[in-house]
Structures are given as C-alpha cells and as structure tokens.
Amino acid sequence: MNSGKMTTIARPYVAAAFEYALAKKALPAWEAMLLAAANLTIDPRVTVLLASPGVTTDQLGDFYCDILASYLDAEMTNFIRLLAENNRLSVLPDIAALFKEARAAQEKTMIVEVQSAAPLEEAYKQKLVTALTKRLQRQVELQCEIDPALLGGVLIRAGDTVIDGSIRGKLNRLNEFI
C-alpha cells in the first residue's frame, strides 16, 4: 500500500486514540506507546511476520502486547488488539506520526527539524528556539541532526516552512545568478 492510502486508513484510529488519550490526560503515554509500536512495526523481522499467512491476528496481537507490555495499560492493549484483528498493525508508523502531529497541534507546539554541519551550541539553540517561537507563534521543540554535506550554517524545516541558511544553499542560490 502507498503512504497516502496508509494515512487514510490511519486517520480514524488516530482520531479515536487521540480523543480517548486527551480525555484521560494521557497524551504523552499514548504517544510513547505508539512510537514504540511503530518502531516495532518497521523492524524487518516484524515486517516479514506481518506478511506471513501462517500467523493469525490473535497471535500478532499477543506478540505486540508481549513486546510492548511495559507501555500498555488495558485501553492501549485493546487498541493494539483491535489493530491486529483488523489487519492494521502495519499502519502503526502512520498512526504514530499523525498522533504526534495532533498532540503538537493540541499543545500549540511544533517540532522543528534543524540540520547543521556540526553540533549546535546550547546558547545558539536557545536563540533559535526563541526566534522560531516568536515567528511561528507556537512553542518550538528542536530536533537537531548533523549533515556534513551542508558545509556550514543551518537548514530549518518547520512544517511547510523551509529556511535555508546553509552555505550549500547560499552557493546554490549564487549559481542561479551566474
């Protein structure tokens, strides 16, 4: 299945889980569980297991619940078993991603991806958080990543907004004018 179809399938599950978690004030616990379940799902060995015709939905539900036991309460266990019964465990990465987006929107936060050629100093990160919080009018959480190909500077992705302050980006823009 393509990612668009998976996202469409994931939406009702996300809506139900999010509504429940919000009412129970359990958004962080549900997000952690869904992230762990998504990481389990993308493991190549689990991908093979999910595609195996010899494994029943009950067995898959048991497997997921056993592996994720430290994250699960009764409602989360029911959710995982429901996904297994409906052959939707493979959609867990999309469910986790959409849940995280819904939580960020609810809490007026935004995950901002920052790529840099070298690790950023804490003082610079704080200035970046302050500036981006003001510009985006949301609480900002940085997700920093090192990309030596940038040469220097930073590349910032906040939702649909991209701010390219990298040396590579500046060189590319310079080449456009030459």
* Contact of 107 with 139, CB cutoff 8 Å: yes
Domain architecture of the chain: domains with CATH: 3-105 (1.10.520.20), 108-177 (3.40.30)
Can you tell me the distance from the alpha carbon of 18 to that of 40, in angstroms, rounded to the nearest whole number? 20
Q: State how beta strands 153-158 and 109-116 pair.
A: antiparallel
Residue 158: predicted pLDDT:
83
Residue 83: predicted pLDDT:
97
CB hemisphere CA count around 163 (13 angstroms)? 14
Which pLDDT tens digit goes with each residue over 73-119? 999 999 999 999 999 999 999 999 999 989 988 888 888 899 988 89
**Model confidence, pTM:** 0.66
Residue 142 belongs to what H/E stretch? strand 139-146
| Token duo for residue 64 | 């997921």
- In this prediction, the residues of the chain whose per-residue pLDDT falls under 50 are 1-2
